[in-house]
Amino acid sequence: MASSLKSLSQYTDKNLLDISTKKFGIVVSEWNDQVTGSLYTAAVETLLKHGAKKENIFKKNVPGSFELTLGAQWLAEIEEIDAVICLGCVIQGETRHFDFICDAVAHGITNVSLKYNKPVIFGVLTPDTMQQALDRSGGKHGNKGDEAAITAVKMLGF
């Protein structure tokens, strides 16, 4: 369902796993940091709300969304990390750069998840405009950071 039809911050929290001992790695793109900073804040708040301990949440910054994949791999290699959340924002521009980056990041994150057999969550916005990004990072469509965090929690309980 399109995020314009449903808030990214609305989810069911039924039957969630106890995550008080789980460790989360969060990789955050520095590109579009106004957006990614908001995604990160929401993800951490959601994890804490559902029982994660602050000392069990590890943040690593990468320059851009393309680098999320390697950052995720480095965190996934750490045996103690139970789930990795990737947060980024790639805004459509005038060239095909957007297509190449989004495709590479989506495939890369999926591959890291499969390689390490642990949840590696795609929390990357791919809007057409900065306004759409703001709307999905705490604006009128909720926050993709909330969605990414609860997805990690739910996948750990699978």
| Domain containing residue 70: CATH number | 3.40.50.960
CA dihedral 141, 147, 148, 152 (to 10 degrees): 180
Q: Is 102 annotated as a binding residue?
A: no
Domain that holds residue 146: 24-156
Q: What is the pLDDT of residue 1?
A: 46
CA distance 113 to 133: 25
Q: Residue 98: inside a domain, yes or no?
A: yes
Q: Residue 5: inside a domain, yes or no?
A: no
Q: Is 74 annotated as a binding residue?
A: no
Q: Is 7 annotated as a binding residue?
A: no
* Catalytic site residue from 50, 97, 107, 141: 97
Q: Is 91 annotated as a binding residue?
A: yes
Domain count, the chain: 1
107 is annotated as an active-site residue: no
Q: Residue 110: inside a domain, yes or no?
A: yes
Q: What is the pLDDT along the chain (158 residues), one digit of tens a residue?
A: 455 667 777 777 777 899 999 999 999 999 999 999 999 999 999 999 999 999 999 999 999 999 999 999 999 999 999 999 999 999 997 777 888 999 999 999 999 999 999 999 999 999 999 999 999 999 999 999 999 999 999 999 98
